[in-house]
């Protein structure tokens, strides 16, 4: 019965290497699919990290502006929160 199989299939080393490669590529906990998923997740997390670092810089800039002198505090309140003095009118211009 073994004589009917092709010669490479009867070779112990070829069969061992094929089984080992199948195990490593498909069945192992560190297989190719898991590695691809982990690398894509890592890229997404790095992009998120950059986004949050930019947001932190933005908040720090607003913090410095807010706790600066009174003029910058007033400017910040008017621009961000649309605050006004009692006898003032506010006009909001929205650009398209």
Is the pLDDT at 92 greater than 70? The verdict is yes
Can you give the pTM of this predicted structure?
0.50
Dihedral angle of Cα 37, 43, 47, 52, to the nearest 10 degrees: 70
Asked whether the beta carbons of 30 and 22 are under 8 A apart, the reply is: no
Over the stretch 34-84, which tens digit does the pLDDT of each residue have? 889 999 999 999 999 999 999 999 999 888 877 878 888 888 777 778 777
The residues, any chain, with a CB within 8 Å of residue 60's CB and separated by 6 or more, are none
Q: Give the tens place of pLDDT for each residue, 2-23.
A: 677 777 777 888 889 989 888 8
Q: How far apart are CA 69 and CA 74, in angstroms?
A: 9
Q: pLDDT at position 14, please?
A: 85
Instruction: Return the pLDDT at 2.
Output: 64
């Amino acid at each position: 019965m073994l004589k009917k199989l092709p010669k490479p299939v009867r070779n112990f080393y070829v069969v061992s290497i094929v089984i080992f490669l199948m195990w490593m590529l498909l069945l192992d906990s560190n297989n190719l699919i898991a590695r691809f998923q982990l690398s894509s997740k890592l890229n997404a997390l790095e992009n998120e990290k950059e986004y949050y670092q930019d947001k932190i810089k933005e908040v720090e800039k607003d913090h410095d502006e807010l706790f600066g002198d009174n003029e910058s505090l007033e400017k910040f309140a008017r621009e961000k929160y649309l605050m006004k003095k009692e006898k003032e009118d506010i006009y909001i211009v929205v650009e398209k």
